[in-house]
Each structure stands twice: as C-alpha cells, then as structure tokens.
Chain A
C-alpha cells in the first residue's frame, strides 16, 4: 500500500534546473478513519491521499488535476495544514511543517495562504469587506504604515475592486467580485505560496477569464508561487507551468505543461484529455474519444497495485500485481505506469498542430 517514496520529488525539480524549491512534499498520506460500533473502533480508512511526492519551485504554478474524490483538495488542505497529514513530510523553505502545532504554524500562515472554491461560502456574510480583508492584519498583529484601512483599500484596488467597497457586505457583490475579495484577503500579508482550490470553477466564463488574468498579473507583480487545484483541463493548461495528474489518492503523472499536453504518457491522462469537450462542431466526428467505463473505485478499498488497472484499456496481469514505479521517463516527466503511451526517447512530432515546445516551458 505504502508506495516506496521515490526520489520523484527531487528528480522532478532537476528538470529545468531553475529556481529553488519552495515546497517539497515526500510520500504525503492522509487516511480518514472509519469508525463503527459502540466503542467507535476503527474498522477501515478512506485512503484519500496515499503517497504523494512532488516539489514546488519558487515563482511557478503547479496544478493538481484529477476527478472528484482523487484527493486533490485533501492534498491542498494538508499543504496549508488545515488538515493533519497521516504520514509523509512537508518541507516549506526547508523547514518541516508536517506536524507542527497550530501555534507554531501561525507565523507561517503569513507565507502560506489559500483561495477557496466557493466565493459564497468562504466570506462571512456578517462582516464588511473591510473586516474580511483586514482580518489577516488583525490576527497577525501586523502594523501597516498608514493603518489597516489604507492597506485594505490598496489591496482592493490591486484586485480590481473600488476602495469605496470597504464598507459593503459580501451579498452586495457578484460571484466574480467575491472571488476577488477572497484573493485580496489571501494577498494581504504578502504570502509566498498560495494554494488555490478551484479558484474559478464557480464563475461564469467571461468572469473566469478576468480572474485568471488577475491571478497571472499578481504572480508577475508579487512573485507569487501557486499550487492550483482544478478539474478543468483547458484552464489548467492556461495557468500552469507544471501539471500533476492524480488518480485515487496517488500521483500518476507530473510534467511541464507542454510535454504533458502534447505527449501525455499515462493512459489516464490520455483519457482525461480526450474527454474534454471541444467547442468546435467540426471536430464532433473526427475525434476518437477514449471512453472510460464506470466510476472511480472507492478509496476505502482501492484496487491493488496500479489503481487505474480496473478502468485501463491497456491493463495486463502485471498491473494488478506489481505497483508501477513513479519513474522519470523523459526529462522532468515522471509517470507511474507499466505501459506508458507516447514513449519515444527523442524529439517527435507533436500530437496537436502546435508549434514545438519552447525550451523554457
């Protein structure tokens, strides 16, 4: 069950050799106990995350993608220590934060912030925008040069809201504006790392683009590092430098954006990509979509060895007996599969009609 903690975290980061690691995660696990009976004995566990290893470089955007229930949100919540990991290790700037206490974590909260998915549920309806965005300053006892109000108003301007919104309540704003308030709050203490859990999935298409552009501008301006959690593969391609694909609590593939989208190696990634509806009527017949049968199995009792073998069209006997190693099959491109796709060692024609990958990707 516990996969060998490979050196994937480090191998992954050698890829382009630029930037140092801000966050290093090794063999991270989260098992939620299932308790039954009078004595609430533990009878099993939901293996929400079961051995994730990756690293995040300063200034990059790493996206976690996967279907619902694959553990991407749980991973995000462990990175911000909103959840206590069951096993593994999280190093933030070289410091082990896996099990540090809430009190010791508090100063670190300045550096690690979170943007939540639901712009309706993540803002207190009884607080004004000024109170919400100013809360980090109060909680951390941060004194700003011209007072908290000025700082909050600057933040509101930064995210494209008007400083006059200071005294308004969340219900007076649209979904896109609320998401901006959430972003302003996350930015208040100039964090180094922002974990954004589905930051745009609750928004309309036209607003989604505004918020994506805002997040990118802020990254350039403030040198932020993002870990985004998303399920929309088109949005992920647009936002990310690197992408990690998760399936049932495990990482199955991680690579730089361009190689991942042009030469996905894990069959699951290939299937995910082929399932994305393309807004072009001419493609309706031409595409050969890979249809995955059935649903994601239960993480209480996941399939043996390779967890994808029950739905994989390439599965053979070895897939249900031997867990595939998470190996670097191309520079910076790690895959856990016995029979990877697109496995060619040298420059190859790309799948889509794209220009060749630029080296800095």
Chain B
C-alpha cells in the first residue's frame, strides 16, 4: 500500500526547539511480521506517518489492528528473534530499525518513553514507586541518590500524587489505579522525553480519573513540548487530545488526516462505521446502533484486496476492485490520506445521503 505513500509534508510550526532536516519522528513503510506455526502474522504491514514536537498523533483501531505492535516497534521493545521488522523509524535523524539494541536502550527513557495500559503489570511489585523512578533517572543522569529522590518527589507532585514526600516510598500495590497511572506517567517523564507514546493510557480508568489523566498529558505536553502518540480504541479520547488521527485496520492505515477532518468529514467506510457504531452523549439518543457487521479479520489470513471489503456496505460500488486490489493510500485532499476504492462521486453521494445525516 504505502511503499510510495508520501506522508504529508511537514507543516511549518511556530514552536521552539531544534528543527532537524526531516520531521521529528518519521515512520516509513513499517512492517512487523511474526512468523508462527500457522503462518505469518502481519501485524503491521506498511505504515507511514510523521510526528512533530509539540504535536499529538492519535492512532485508532480495534484490537488486533496493529496499534500496540507499532508502538512497541518504535520503542524497540520486541524481543529479538520474535518479529521480522522492516521499514524505517527515524527519530531525530536516527534510524532505529536495525540499530543495535544497546543504542536503542540508551534512547529509551531519555529520548522516548512509554505509558502502558496496565500500570500494575508495568511496574515492578517488589520495588517502591520512588525506587523505580530514581533508577530510570540515574541511568541517564549522573546525579546523587538524594538529588534523584528529590526529582522523583517533584515529579510525583507534578502529576498530582498527594503527599509525594511519603508516597514516594510506597509500593505500587499501595496506590489506587488512577495513582498508579499517574506514577507511571511520572516515571515516563522523569528524563523529559522528546517522544512520549501512550498506549491506551486511560482504558483501565474511570471516567473522572480519565479526565484528570488526559488533562495531565495535555498540560505536560505543553510544558515539555514533546511529541505524543496516543494509541486508543476510544474516539472520544483522541478527540480530546490529538491533532492528527491515523485510523488502522488489519495492520494498515486506512485514513490519516487532521482530527478535525476525521470527525467532520470522514471518508473511509470503516471510519464511518466506527463513528456510527458508538452511542454518543452529545447526540440525541437513537433507537438502534449501527454496528459494523462481522468481525475484524485474522492477521494470518487477511482478505484479498481491501481488507475491509467483507464488512464494507459499499464494496459492491467499486466494481469488484475491492476484492482483488489493495487500495493505495493516496492524498485525496491536502493532508487527508485515504486507502479506499470508492470513486469520489460515489463517496460524496454516500456521505451526503447515508452517512452525514446519521452521524
């Protein structure tokens, strides 16, 4: 699909910070395949995007669409020998695919950091929260334990942990779910990373805590001017945070545009389906939801042609193309990329008649 897809041109941004030749993070034609006994699982199959500093990219998709695998490849967290990774991940003019694990390890924490979905399993139960923050900080900074401890307390205070001076010596199990997630954010931020990847950062949390965490990520991003990638299945969460949104289906990008366009002028039938299938508080209640029929495909046996065609209500409008040819990701209008066989007229007609009135 996107071997020759040009990710959108770098937008000039009036933000401080170094401006290297290319975009801050550039992912080009990323492919992550897992060989298994049953066949090759093509978790990510040709994905390209850019993220600038100070900018937030939201990656949206269902389970098994390759969102998390993408983030783990950027961080270099796939254990060696398990995955076949190809393509380019260029962070600050430094290609991470093919770089030595030691090199990537030194970048991790300092240049890029990750917030995981489940803080209880991402933290070590045997060590105190403070110990875990201090450890990461001292690896990248030559400071005394006292200085590092002071830094950890400051961070815990910054993310809103009450009485950070005493809670720093608590173990993860002594924290509530929301506090653990904050502590993990503090850990991820301990070295002011330039790239922050948040993989479903609020999925395990209640709405009130979720709102606090989203506010926190937004505030911290403004303060540190980091690039943020937020991975989620919840369109509400990306609407709160993201500047750009990339919609993934079966390991590929199907639509990539600014958040505003994705919510006001979505063009891919899958994006329509996602938006139409969720009940929304800001709309009048409808009698019935409109689900996408069927289930996401197995990544061992991705359907021929457009992977979405078995579930697509408009596949027959393409004259059979969707069953045989893989649609290219093309720029249908400035900064709006789309991989779909529907003709512009058909798309407009369907949008005007079927989709727009009901969204």
Residues of A within 8 A of B (CB): 67-68, 174-177, 204-210, 212-213, 216, 231, 233-235, 237-238, 257, 261, 271-273, 275-284, 289, 291-292, 294-296, 352, 354-355
What is the chain A residue whose CB lies nearest that of B258?
A281
CA distance A292 to B236 in the complex (A): 19
Chain A residues near B62 (CB-CB < 8 A): 204-207
Known: A67-B207, A206-B274, A281-B260. 16 other contacts (CB 8 A): A177-B295, A208-B277, A209-B289, A209-B291, A213-B288, A213-B289, A233-B207, A234-B280, A235-B279, A257-B285, A272-B208, A277-B240, A278-B281, A278-B282, A279-B280, A284-B240
What is the chain A residue whose CB lies nearest that of B205?
A68
Of the A-B pairs whose beta carbons lie under 8 Å apart in the complex, a sample of 16, sorted by A's number, is A205-B235, A205-B274, A208-B291, A209-B278, A209-B279, A231-B206, A233-B281, A237-B279, A279-B236, A279-B238, A279-B239, A281-B263, A284-B239, A284-B240, A294-B162, A296-B176
Min distance, Cβ B179 to any Cβ of chain A, angstroms: 7
CA distance A233 to B236 in the complex (A): 12
Contact B215 A291, beta carbon cutoff 8 Å:
yes
- The winner among A210, A216, A237, A272 for most chain B CB atoms within 10 A is A210
Chain A residues near B14 (CB-CB < 8 A): none
What is the chain B residue whose CB lies nearest that of A217?
B288
What is the chain B residue whose CB lies nearest that of A70?
B206
Given A238-B279, A295-B178, also A205-B233 (CB < 8 A): yes
- The winner among B237, B263, B286 for most chain A CB atoms within 10 A is B263
Chain A residues near B263 (CB-CB < 8 A): 279-282
Per-position 1/0 for B264-307, Cβ under 8 A of A: 10000000011101111110111011111101100000000000
The answer, among A233, A276, A295, for a CB contact under 8 Å with B209, is A295
Residues of B within 8 A of A (CB): 62-63, 162, 176-179, 206-212, 214-215, 233-240, 259-260, 263-264, 273-275, 277-282, 284-286, 288-293, 295-296
Contact A207 B281, beta carbon cutoff 8 Å:
no
Min distance, Cβ B50 to any Cβ of chain A, angstroms: 20
What is the chain B residue whose CB lies nearest that of A292?
B208
The 5 A-B residue pairs with the shortest CB-CB distance in the complex, in nearest-first order: A277-B236, A209-B291, A206-B292, A238-B279, A209-B277
Contact B279 A279, beta carbon cutoff 8 Å:
no
Contact B176 A279, beta carbon cutoff 8 Å:
no
Contact B260 A276, beta carbon cutoff 8 Å:
no
Report the number of A-B residue pairs with Cβ-Cβ less than 8 Å: 132
What is the chain B residue whose CB lies nearest that of A271?
B208
CA distance A188 to B273 in the complex (A): 32
What is the chain B residue whose CB lies nearest that of A177?
B295
What is the chain A residue whose CB lies nearest that of B291?
A209
Chain A residues near B215 (CB-CB < 8 A): 291
CA distance A206 to B312 in the complex (A): 12
CA distance A338 to B177 in the complex (A): 30
What is the chain A residue whose CB lies nearest that of B293?
A210
Chain B residues near A272 (CB-CB < 8 A): 207-208
Contact A208 B285, beta carbon cutoff 8 Å:
no
CA distance A234 to B347 in the complex (A): 29
Contact A295 B278, beta carbon cutoff 8 Å:
no
Contact B278 A355, beta carbon cutoff 8 Å:
no
Given A231-B206, A291-B212, also A213-B291 (CB < 8 A): yes
Chain B residues near A355 (CB-CB < 8 A): 284
Chain A residues near B238 (CB-CB < 8 A): 279
Chain B residues near A175 (CB-CB < 8 A): 63
CA distance A295 to B179 in the complex (A): 8
CA distance A105 to B274 in the complex (A): 43
CA distance A175 to B292 in the complex (A): 15
Contact A212 B289, beta carbon cutoff 8 Å:
yes
What is the chain A residue whose CB lies nearest that of B206?
A67
Min distance, Cβ B214 to any Cβ of chain A, angstroms: 7
Chain A residues near B177 (CB-CB < 8 A): 68
CA distance A152 to B275 in the complex (A): 35
Chain B residues near A213 (CB-CB < 8 A): 288-289, 291
Contact B273 A206, beta carbon cutoff 8 Å:
yes
Contact B233 A204, beta carbon cutoff 8 Å:
yes
Contact A206 B280, beta carbon cutoff 8 Å:
no
What is the chain A residue whose CB lies nearest that of B202?
A277
CA distance A234 to B281 in the complex (A): 5
Min distance, Cβ A184 to any Cβ of chain B, angstroms: 17
Chain B residues near A216 (CB-CB < 8 A): 288
Chain B residues near A177 (CB-CB < 8 A): 295
Contact A277 B295, beta carbon cutoff 8 Å:
no
Min distance, Cβ B173 to any Cβ of chain A, angstroms: 14
Contact B233 A68, beta carbon cutoff 8 Å:
no
Contact B280 A278, beta carbon cutoff 8 Å:
yes
CA distance A177 to B296 in the complex (A): 12
Min distance, Cβ B56 to any Cβ of chain A, angstroms: 12
Given A209-B290, A291-B211, also A234-B278 (CB < 8 A): yes
Min distance, Cβ A329 to any Cβ of chain B, angstroms: 23
What is the chain A residue whose CB lies nearest that of B274?
A205
Contact B214 A277, beta carbon cutoff 8 Å:
yes
The answer, among A209, A233, A280, A289, for a CB contact under 8 Å with B239, is A280
What is the chain A residue whose CB lies nearest that of B296?
A204
Chain B residues near A294 (CB-CB < 8 A): 162
CA distance A354 to B282 in the complex (A): 9
Contact B206 A68, beta carbon cutoff 8 Å:
yes
Contact A281 B278, beta carbon cutoff 8 Å:
no
The answer, among B214, B264, B281, for a CB contact under 8 Å with A261, is B281
CA distance A279 to B212 in the complex (A): 17
CA distance A283 to B275 in the complex (A): 16
What is the chain A residue whose CB lies nearest that of B207?
A275
The answer, among A67, A204, A210, for a CB contact under 8 Å with B63, is A204
Given A205-B278, A272-B207, A278-B280, also A238-B285 (CB < 8 A): yes
Given A212-B289, A238-B289, A295-B179, also A278-B239 (CB < 8 A): yes
Chain A residues near B239 (CB-CB < 8 A): 277-281, 283-284
What is the chain A residue whose CB lies nearest that of B262?
A281
Chain A residues near B290 (CB-CB < 8 A): 209
Min distance, Cβ B206 to any Cβ of chain A, angstroms: 4
CA distance A352 to B293 in the complex (A): 31
CA distance A273 to B154 in the complex (A): 32
CA distance A209 to B288 in the complex (A): 9
Chain B residues near A231 (CB-CB < 8 A): 206-207
Min distance, Cβ B224 to any Cβ of chain A, angstroms: 20
